[in-house]
Structure 1
C-alpha cells in the first residue's frame, strides 16, 4: 500500500479510503490511486483487512442440496440482492445432514462472515439461534422461526399441499400416494398436512385418500425407487403427489420404464416448479414456489438486521401457486386403476405392465 501511495502522490490513508470508502475521495484522486494500484499489481489482503476491522464482506449461505434447482434459484436471488452492497457469498451444501450443518456454521463463524442465510436440516434450531445470539445476523430461508427468535422467509407449504391434493381429487383421482421426505423436514410435514386437509374438505377419509411413501432423501433416485412401493404395495392408487420436482422426475422415469402411462393411468404432481418441470414429457404439474423472491427477501432481511440496531425480527411469507400441466390432466380413453391392478404378477416387469388391457373411461 505504501508503494501505491508514493506512486500516486497521496497518503496511505487516502489509498485506504479509495479501497474502503471511495465516496470520500475526489474523483481525480481516485483515478490516480486506481492507476497506481493497477501499475503496481497491488492486491489488498482481505484477511488483514478483516482482522483490523472485523468485517469480511461475506455472507454464508447454508442449503440442503446444491444439486436441487430450487436451492440454486434461491441462492441466485440472494446473490442478486447482496452483490450491489459488495458482499460475496460462501455457499455450503449440507446434503440434509445436521452434523454437516453444524460443522459449516462453525467454519463460517471462524471466518467472520457478516451474516448467515440458512435452510436448516432439521426442526431443532437451538444451534442456529445461538449463532444469532453471538452477534451474527441469521435469516432462515424456506423455514419458519420460533416467534421473535430469528428473521425468516417462508412459503405456505400447508396451502401448497392442499392445492396439489385438491386438484388431483377434484379431477376424479381416487387415491393419492404422497411420496414425501422425513417428517423432521418441516416442509414435508406441512405438505402432508395440506394434502390431508384437502381430502377432509372434500368429504373424504384422509387415511384412505392419502397414503404416504416416505423416502430418506428428496432426490430423483429416491423418487424412482418409490415406484416399486407405489405400484406393488398400494392398491387403488391412481395419482402421485411428490414433495419436490426431483422426486417427481425420478418417479416419472420409473413409471415410464414399467410402461405406466402418465396421466392416463397415473397422474403426477411435483412441488417447486423448477425450470425442468415444463420441459419433461409429459410436462409436469407442480406447485410453484417463488424461488428467486425467497432469496431476495432473505438477503434484504439480513441487510436490514445488520444495519439497524433496533431491528425487530419478522417473517416474510409467500403464497404458492399450482401450475397445471399435462402430467395430471385426464385424457380421453385413459385406463383405470382396476385394469392396472388386474392380474399383475410383478411391478418390476415392464412387459407385464403393458399386457394389462385398458378399461373404458369412467
Structure 2
C-alpha cells in the first residue's frame, strides 16, 4: 500500500503542513522535528505525489505534445528526439493524438486549461491554430513543429522542402554528379 503524507505526519506526530515544509526544506521547522520527519520518510519509503508537488509549486515538469497521429513516416524519429531532450532536462512527456478531430482538440484543450503542462509542443493538426493562439496568449509556452510554412505568431520549427531540395541538388552538382533524379 502506498504511504501518504497523512501517514508520515501521523507517525512523526506532526501536521501534514510540517511534513510538507520538511520536504521543501523550509527553514521554519525545528531541527529535531525535521530529523524525526525525515526518519519516518526514510523508514516508510514515502514518495511525494508528483501531482501534489506540481500543484503546490505551480510547475508540473511535464511537456504536453499533440500530434495528428502516430503513423506518419517520420513521427517515430520526431518523438524520440523530443523525448530525449525533454527527459534530459528532467521533464516528462505526455503525448496526445488528434486523430478524432475536434473531439481530440477539445480534450487536449481541457487538459491544458487544467494546467497539466508547463509547455506544449505541437505537430499542427488542421483546425488547431485557434486553440493554440488562445493558449499562447494565456502565457503558456507553445512551439509548433512542422508549421508547413504558415509561420504562426508564436515559435515554430519547420522544413522548407523546396529550399532543401535545391540545396541537395547544389551539393550533388558541386560534388560532380551529373545525372540527378527525384523519387517521390
Query: Taking structure 1 as the reference length, what is the TM-score of the superposition?
Result: 0.36
Counterparts of 1:39 and 1:82, CA distance in 2: 32
Counterparts of 2:40 and 2:146, CA distance in 1: 46
Give how far 1:82 is off: 2.0
Look up the match of 1:52. 56
Aligned match for 1:16, one of 9, 12, 24? 24
Q: Contact conserved, 1:98 with 1:121, CA < 8 A, in 2?
A: no
Deviation digits for residues 67-126 of structure 1 (CA, Å, limit 9, x no counterpart): 335222212222222223321110012238354234323323325311110011127612
Counterparts of 1:165 and 1:96, CA distance in 2: 39
Q: Contact conserved, 2:105 with 2:128, CA < 8 A, in 1?
A: no
Counterparts of 1:240 and 1:78, CA distance in 2: 29
Structure showing greater radius of gyration is 1
Give how far 1:38 is off: 4.4
Q: How does 1:144-155 map to 2 (within 5 A)?
A: 144=149, 146=151, 149-155=153-159
Counterparts of 2:58 and 2:71, CA distance in 1: 33
Paired residues, number? 158
Q: Contact conserved, 1:59 with 1:117, CA < 8 A, in 2?
A: yes
For the pair 1:128 / 2:132, whether they are aligned, the reply is yes
Counterparts of 1:124 and 1:44, CA distance in 2: 35
Give how far 1:131 is off: 1.0
Q: Contact conserved, 1:98 with 1:122, CA < 8 A, in 2?
A: no
Deviation digits for residues 219-269 of structure 1 (CA, Å, limit 9, x no counterpart): xxxxxxxxxxxxxxxxxxxx851xxxxxxxxxxxxxxxxxxxxxxxxxxxx
Q: Contact conserved, 1:96 with 1:121, CA < 8 A, in 2?
A: no
Q: Which runs of 5+ in 1 are unaligned?
A: 19-28, 174-238, 242-362
Q: How does 1:62-77 map to 2 (within 5 A)?
A: 62-68=66-72, 70-77=74-81
Counterparts of 1:123 and 1:47, CA distance in 2: 30
Look up the match of 1:105. 109
Counterparts of 1:136 and 1:118, CA distance in 2: 13
